[in-house]
Amino acid sequence: MESVWTKPETLTDTRMHYCPGCGHGAVHKVLMEVVDEMNIQSETIGVAPVGCSVFAYHYMNVDMQEAAHGRAAAVATGIKRVLPEKIVFSYQGDGDLAAIGTGETIHAANRGENILVIFINNAIYGMTGGQMAPTTLLGMKTTTTPEGRTTETQGFPLKITDLIAMLPGAYYVTRQAVHTPNAIRSLKKAFLNAFRYQQARKGYCLIEVVSNCPSGWKMTPVDANKWMEKNMFPLYPLGDLKAEGKLVERKQP
């Protein structure tokens, strides 16, 4: 029989705690596939955040550190600075990276830290039960914006990836997704790029993955993906924002 699906070796056999339809599982798998294909398990060190992916180290069979909420980029900096030959990545959600950890996020990028930051943006705090995130869309209902997010009260969705692309320290900044096979293939290529850049000491790489949260959004996985395409992608359009240190010309959404 032809094998149509295999689990990457660096993905552990531990059963994932993620909700059905959540994008984390696919991102984990693709990330570990790239670690396998590049044969870098023994030199890769990951940093897990606080958020839904707080247990990422249960699933990724590489050395990992669990950071305090928002501090993953600082922890990754500490590791990379003393072990510059290793491959270091952080894996963070929108609350972790773009709210409580904004300072660490921006300064790590601005220093051009030679690390990969993976940013899962699902516009909601999943782990704590569906509160507003910095990336929550205007009008979007969450447990802390029951009438929908308004600019008067909660300000605007923070496009932190666009902000980081502007910094000279950032070498490769891209926005990806995992809702279709094509999107997954594209994300895999982005991971490959980022790790190769890190090996070549090119500097800071940020990969945003626009993802869903069926539980937090209170939708079925299929509806969540449809909603994401219709509402998230216009504000967070997919594609490279910065490639090889140069800003990519993009149509304004």
Partner 1 sequence: MSDSKLMKGNEALAEAAIRAGCDGYFGYPITPQSEVLEYLAEEGRQRGMVVLQVESELAAINMVYGAAGAGKRAMTSSSSPGISLMQEGLSYIASAELPCLVVNVNRGGPGLGTIQPSQGDYFQSTKGGGHGDYRLIVLAPASVQEMADFVYDGFDLADAYRNPVMILADGALGQMMEAVSFKTYDPKERVPEKKWATTGKTPDRERNIVTSLFIQPEKMEEINKRLQAKYKVIQEREVKYQLTTTDDAEIVLVAYGLAARICARAAELARHRGIKAGVVRPITLYPYPYDVIRQLCGHARRFLVVEMNAGQMVEDVRLAVEGRVPVEFYGRMGGMIPPPEDILEQIIRYSENQPGGAAPAERAEVHEIMER
| Dihedral over alpha carbons 231, 222, 128, 28 (to 10 degrees) | -100
Residue selected from 25, 36, 43, 243 as contacting partner 1 according to rule CB under 8 A: 43
For the beta carbon of residue 244, count every other beta carbon within 10 angstroms: 11
Asked if 57 touches partner 1 (CB under 8 A), the answer is yes
233 and 178 Cβ atoms separated by less than 8 Å:
no
Residues in 2-31 at the binding interface with partner 1, rule: CB under 8 A: none
Residue selected from 32, 74, 117, 241 as contacting partner 1 according to rule CB under 8 A: 74
Q: Residue 4 half-sphere exposure, CB side, CA atoms within 13 Å?
A: 1
84 and 115 Cβ atoms separated by less than 8 Å:
no
CB of 103 to partner 1, least distance (A): 6
Asked if 47 touches partner 1 (CB under 8 A), the answer is yes
SS3 196: helix
Q: Give the per-residue contact string, 75-114, with partner 1 (x = CB under 8 A; - = no).
A: xxxxxxxxx--x----------------xx--x-------
CB of 8 to partner 1, least distance (A): 14
Return the H-helix or E-strand segment holding 225: helix 221-227
CB of 72 to partner 1, least distance (A): 8
Among 39-47, 91-99, 117-125, 146-154, the segment contacting partner 1 (CB under 8 A):
39-47
Nearer to partner 1, 71 or 179 (CB): 71
Report the amino acid identity of residue 85: E
CB of 75 to partner 1, least distance (A): 4
Asked if 224 touches partner 1 (CB under 8 A), the answer is no
**For residue 173, what is the DSSP state?**
E
Residues that bind partner 1 (CB under 8 A): 41-45, 47-48, 54-55, 57, 61-68, 71, 74-83, 86, 103-104, 107
